[in-house]
A and B are shown apart, each in its own frame.
Chain A
Amino acid sequence: MINNNRLVVSFSPHEKGELEIEKIMWGVVIALVPAFAASVIFYGFHALRVVVLTLIFCIGIEYLIQKFILKVKVTAFDGSAAITALLLAFNVPAGVPWWQLLAGSIMAIGVAKMTFGGLGKNPFNPALVGRAFMLASFPVQMTTWPVPVQNLWNLGADAVTSATPLGILKEGVRMGKTVTQLAGDLPNYVDMLIGNIGGCIGEISVIAILIGGIYMLARKIITWHIPVFYLLSLAGFTGVFWLINPDKYADPLFHILVGGAMLGAWFMATDMVTGPMSIKGQIIFALGGGILCGAIRLFGSYPEGCSYSILVMNAFVPLIDKYVKPKRFGTEVNYGK
């Protein structure tokens, strides 16, 4: 029998599954769309401006670095730079000027990602490094919160500003007021759920973030462990103090719903590259992150601690991976004595 085919001889397996890096990355981008939509609903043009600029900056920087500095295959469009861009944009207030976004993007992609070797090699979440850098460098702009809805198409610089719920709480408690007295200044739970509150553009709407999270769960991009344990841990930590002194500390539900906790738990703590590999390790990572976030919120000088909690836990990942291993088959002895 004449055989004109060129046969491939390689090791098994000869079947290949359908998972691809690009599919995972763009899946996360799709999951971020509801939060993006919420940001545009509440902050209008400003949110759109921040997101579009950051996308151009982040993808552009990765492209330029790969093309002209590293001279490697360009993978700027694999979706991972887009995720970093969206998360960075979601973590800033609507009024941040363009050049600060550029600085943040350079820090995120250029320093936190590419200097370590690009996708898969960076120890810290690039978007969070970018945000931490911006918060330290531009504290005024990074903590000026335009009031949602009222500023929708107000293109001028003189936006009506307010404070975030966590800011109101922190400042109020510092002035000696009780949580009950502050209740009038704080938004109600319905506003928190839909996102009609002051804050970074992508973190405001709990519902939008949850839709994205459930989408990622359904597509098996993430597992439930990190978000659930992160939020439980945050609720547990803040809950203990709330039980001890409800006048000084807000209830755990409040802490879960406001600030960056939802966005952080679903989209930043679940970053594969900077999280632990084993499920057990991921649970430890999430528990530690939740406690740190609560501790910074209650006792730190910043009102919000979600970003820092994740960045700190990122640093523990190599240690966690070294000591927390998946359970090997054959270690569970349930036969014979």
Chain B
Amino acid sequence: MKLRTFKKGGVHPPENKLSANVPIRELGLPDQVSIHMAHHLGAPAVPIVEKGDKVKVGTLIARKGQAFISANIHSSVSGTVLKIDDVTGGSGYRSKAVIIKVEGDEWEESIDRSKELVEEIKLTPGEILKKIEEMGIVGLGGATFPSHIKYMVSDQRPADTLVINGVECEPYLTSDYRSMLERPDEILVGIQVMMRAGKVNRAMMGIEANKPDAIELLQTKVQKYPGVEVVPLKVKYPQGAEKQLIKALLNREVPSGKLPLDVGVIVNNVGTTLAIYEAVQKNKPLIERVVTMTGKKLKKTGNFLVRVGTPTTMLLEALGEEIPEGTAKIIRGGPMMGKALNSIDIPITKGTSGIILMDKSEVPRREPQTCIRCAKCISVCPMGLEPYLLEKLAKIDDFEGCEAEAVADCIECGSCSYTCPAALPLLDYIRYGKTNVMRLQRERRQK
């Protein structure tokens, strides 16, 4: 059978899924957590606790901001609030965080901590949405978009399909893969919850063909859920990008500047599906997530269930490892779209899917050469853009030109920079162009 995939562009970076066979294990409790208020896309949450307050696991510590796009934040541990202070985050900038000293592991009584699968959905669509919002659920694929907003389906824009992203197309990362293997039933109930919330009768789960055991397992389990389909996909990066995934599964193209809902689709990641299951069926806020800790120079790699706010160094310690000699990059997220950190001393956030240590031999910095017009960047661009041209325009600050060449459509997947034989920093310049085009557009709106 021919596997489905998106048509245009794409690359095949080496998969390096080193931790694929390591089961998820609970990391355990740190001495202290730092929970950032800017955990998600949009406005930071506002702390509602003060120094000295006692909190339990699941206590609301910060309420979503005034802005439309924002999310609640809960304590991931029980203990005492030490202080509310600026802490360096993954961006390298300092921002507000609640720092809690861990004392015991006492959970809010409302949370159902049993392992029992709760299949029956009691809530109405409206109540489910409120629950998702209340429990601070955000997209766990990395973008951390507050989930409840995705489901605000108005009558003008009804969705007909729920797409579950089990692609995990980034190299190294295995947190979604392990979740699918270890918690398939909860994921499938989560899908039912989301189908009800989005008022759709159909759900499609896309999984790349390099995870045959996960596909087989879910295909067997899914049979008792009508309307849900598990679709194996051809391995190709960036299939996990929502526009590409919708194209691969449904052959629909989200128009430039529009959202999946404009073509009747809601997309959620596997990790988010689990979080939504727990929030709605178990009353559990988003306080922990699965994080892959990996790197070629590590003797051991792992997948951990980590409380939000835990120092990243704890993951290394749990493996009995130290940062290997010659590590040149520490990456949060995947190696194609993740962020290079300037220190490993940062707390795990809701959006941290993995921490990758890359050796200097893996990230050689090649001197940029000259463009030989090989057109490889065009052939790999999944958005049908011309990266070579955008780079040239951005270099000379021609932002109107960038805008006309649809720089805003760029999903920053990095396929162009990955491929370029001249090692040109194409995406760096494209981001520069894109940021300035967005600034121009903002200024125009204000006029």
Chain A residues in the interface with B (C-beta under 8 A): 1, 3-17, 19-21, 23-24, 75, 80, 118-121, 223, 272-275, 277-279, 325-336
Q: A8 to B385, Cβ gap below 8 A?
A: no
Q: B418 to A17, Cβ gap below 8 A?
A: yes
Q: Determine the residue in chain A with the shortest Cβ distance to B431.
A: A11
Interchain nearest-CB distance for B237 vs A (Å) = 9
CA separation between A325 and B370, bound complex, in Å?
22
Q: A21-B372, A326-B384, A328-B385 are in contact. List 15 more A-B contacts (CB 8 A).
A: A1-B316, A1-B344, A4-B325, A5-B325, A5-B326, A7-B328, A10-B340, A11-B428, A12-B336, A13-B427, A14-B340, A274-B373, A278-B375, A334-B253, A335-B253
Q: A13 to B337, Cβ gap below 8 A?
A: yes
List 15 A–B pairs whose Cβ atoms lie within 8 Å, in order of A's numbering: A1-B322, A15-B171, A16-B366, A16-B423, A19-B376, A75-B369, A120-B371, A272-B372, A277-B373, A326-B378, A329-B247, A329-B409, A331-B384, A332-B253, A335-B264
Chain B residues in the interface with A (C-beta under 8 A): 8, 11, 13-14, 92, 171, 243, 247, 251-256, 258, 263-264, 313, 316-317, 322-323, 325-331, 335-344, 358, 363-366, 369-376, 378-379, 381-386, 388-389, 406, 409, 412-415, 417-423, 425, 427-428, 431
Q: Determine the residue in chain A with the shortest Cβ distance to B385.
A: A328
Q: Which of A11, A19, A21 contacts B427 (CB 8 A)?
A: A11
Interchain nearest-CB distance for A136 vs B (Å) = 27
Q: A13 to B256, Cβ gap below 8 A?
A: no
Q: A329 to B328, Cβ gap below 8 A?
A: no
Chain B residues near A9 (CB-CB < 8 A): 92, 329, 340-342
CA separation between A275 and B375, bound complex, in Å?
10
How would you classify the secondary structure of chain A's contact residues: helix, strand, loop or mixed?
loop
How would you classify the secondary structure of chain B's contact residues: helix, strand, loop or mixed?
loop
Chain A residues near B415 (CB-CB < 8 A): 13
Q: A329 to B384, Cβ gap below 8 A?
A: yes
From B327, B338, B342, B365, name the one whose CB has the most chain A CB atoms within 10 angstroms: B327
Interchain nearest-CB distance for B400 vs A (Å) = 16
CA separation between A279 and B380, bound complex, in Å?
12
CA separation between A295 and B133, bound complex, in Å?
70
Q: A3 to B363, Cβ gap below 8 A?
A: no
CA separation between A51 and B421, bound complex, in Å?
28
CA separation between A21 and B422, bound complex, in Å?
6
Q: Which of A13, A120, A272, A273 contacts B418 (CB 8 A)?
A: A13
Chain A residues near B243 (CB-CB < 8 A): 329-330
* Given A7-B327, A16-B423, A21-B422, also A330-B13 (CB < 8 A): no
Q: Which of A5, A19, A327 contacts B328 (CB 8 A)?
A: A5
Q: A19 to B420, Cβ gap below 8 A?
A: yes
From B247, B251, B253, B325, name the one whose CB has the most chain A CB atoms within 10 angstroms: B253
Q: A12 to B409, Cβ gap below 8 A?
A: no
* Given A120-B371, A273-B372, also A12-B344 (CB < 8 A): no
Chain A residues near B363 (CB-CB < 8 A): 8, 14, 16
Q: A15 to B418, Cβ gap below 8 A?
A: yes
Q: Determine the residue in chain B with the shortest Cβ distance to A4.
A: B325
Q: A329 to B338, Cβ gap below 8 A?
A: no
CA separation between A277 and B338, bound complex, in Å?
29
Q: Determine the residue in chain B with the shortest Cβ distance to A118.
A: B370
* Given A11-B427, A14-B358, A19-B419, also A1-B313 (CB < 8 A): yes
Q: Which of B256, B325, B328, B423 contacts A330 (CB 8 A)?
A: B256
Q: A330 to B258, Cβ gap below 8 A?
A: yes
Chain A residues near B343 (CB-CB < 8 A): 3, 7
Q: Determine the residue in chain B with the shortest Cβ distance to A20.
A: B421
CA separation between A15 and B340, bound complex, in Å?
12
Chain A residues near B374 (CB-CB < 8 A): 24, 272
Chain B residues near A333 (CB-CB < 8 A): 253, 255
Chain A residues near B382 (CB-CB < 8 A): 329
Q: A277 to B378, Cβ gap below 8 A?
A: yes
CA separation between A19 and B372, bound complex, in Å?
12
Q: Which of A6, A326, A332 contacts B386 (CB 8 A)?
A: A326
Interchain nearest-CB distance for A188 vs B (Å) = 39
Chain B residues near A14 (CB-CB < 8 A): 329, 331, 335-336, 338, 340, 358, 363
Q: B330 to A7, Cβ gap below 8 A?
A: yes
CA separation between A16 and B358, bound complex, in Å?
12
Q: B342 to A7, Cβ gap below 8 A?
A: yes
* Given A277-B378, A328-B406, A330-B409, also A17-B431 (CB < 8 A): no
Q: A24 to B417, Cβ gap below 8 A?
A: no
CA separation between A176 and B160, bound complex, in Å?
73
Interchain nearest-CB distance for B404 vs A (Å) = 11
From B323, B342, B412, name the one whose CB has the most chain A CB atoms within 10 angstroms: B323
* Given A20-B421, A329-B383, A334-B251, also A5-B327 (CB < 8 A): yes
Chain B residues near A1 (CB-CB < 8 A): 313, 316-317, 322-323, 344
Q: A120 to B421, Cβ gap below 8 A?
A: no
Chain B residues near A278 (CB-CB < 8 A): 375, 378, 386
CA separation between A21 and B376, bound complex, in Å?
12
Q: Determine the residue in chain B with the shortest Cβ distance to A16.
A: B418
Chain B residues near A328 (CB-CB < 8 A): 256, 383-385, 406, 409
Chain B residues near A273 (CB-CB < 8 A): 372-373
Chain B residues near A277 (CB-CB < 8 A): 373, 375, 378, 386, 388-389
CA separation between A332 and B250, bound complex, in Å?
13
Question: Which 5 A-B pairs rank lowest in CB-CB distance, beginning with the nearest?
Answer: A13-B414, A19-B421, A328-B384, A120-B370, A329-B383
Interchain nearest-CB distance for B196 vs A (Å) = 23
Chain B residues near A326 (CB-CB < 8 A): 378, 381, 384-386
CA separation between A17 and B335, bound complex, in Å?
12
Q: Determine the residue in chain B with the shortest Cβ distance to A325.
A: B386
CA separation between A189 and B338, bound complex, in Å?
58
Q: Determine the residue in chain A with the shortest Cβ distance to B265.
A: A335
Q: Which of A4, A6, A11, A331 contacts B256 (CB 8 A)?
A: A331
Q: Which of B256, B365, B372, B376 contacts A8 (CB 8 A)?
A: B365
Q: A272 to B373, Cβ gap below 8 A?
A: yes
Q: Which of B335, B366, B375, B381 contacts A13 (CB 8 A)?
A: B335
Q: A15 to B336, Cβ gap below 8 A?
A: yes
Q: A3 to B344, Cβ gap below 8 A?
A: yes
Interchain nearest-CB distance for A45 vs B (Å) = 34
Interchain nearest-CB distance for A209 vs B (Å) = 21
Interchain nearest-CB distance for A126 vs B (Å) = 13
From B11, B251, B264, B422, name the one whose CB has the most chain A CB atoms within 10 angstroms: B422
Chain B residues near A275 (CB-CB < 8 A): 373
Q: A5 to B418, Cβ gap below 8 A?
A: no
Chain A residues near B427 (CB-CB < 8 A): 11-13
CA separation between A121 and B373, bound complex, in Å?
9
Q: B252 to A335, Cβ gap below 8 A?
A: yes
Q: B255 to A330, Cβ gap below 8 A?
A: yes
